[in-house]
């Protein structure tokens, strides 16, 4: 997917959970990404963030850091 589409979709997820307390929202966004984004989409998101993550909501950035914690993602190699 294009970077613009990826950013838009990730930010839409963050907006949906924005009203929850921050820690809960981070976990919800991370859970949504883990459950509904296929591994290659997650890899693309991770790479985009490593290149600066321009335009991503801070809630998405925090959620990706949460996902990168040991044991959170069992396999993103597909």
Considering the entire predicted model, what is its pTM?
Answer: 0.87
When pLDDT is averaged across residues 11-18 and rounded to a whole number, the result is 98
Q: Is 26 helix (H, G, I), strand (E, B) or coil?
A: helix
Contacts of 47 (CB under 8 A, 6+ apart): none
Side-chain half-sphere CA neighbours of 5 within 13 A: 4
Side-chain half-sphere CA neighbours of 60 within 13 A: 23
Instruction: Tell me how far apart the alpha carbons of residues 13 and 33 are, in angstroms, rounded to a whole number.
Output: 9
Question: In the structure encoding, which two tokens stand for residue 33, read together?
Answer: 């990404």
Residue 74 pLDDT: 61
pLDDT, tens only, 17-75:
999 999 999 999 999 999 999 999 999 999 999 999 999 999 999 999 999 887 767 64
Residue 69 pLDDT: 81
């Amino acid at each position: 997917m294009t970077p613009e589409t990826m950013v838009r979709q990730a930010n839409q997820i963050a907006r949906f959970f924005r009203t929850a307390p921050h820690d809960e929202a981070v976990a919800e966004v991370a859970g949504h990404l883990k459950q509904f984004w296929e591994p290659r989409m997650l890899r693309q998101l991770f790479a985009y963030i490593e290149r600066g993550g321009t335009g991503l909501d801070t809630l998405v950035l925090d959620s990706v850091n949460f996902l990168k914690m040991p044991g959170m993602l069992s396999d993103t190699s597909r």
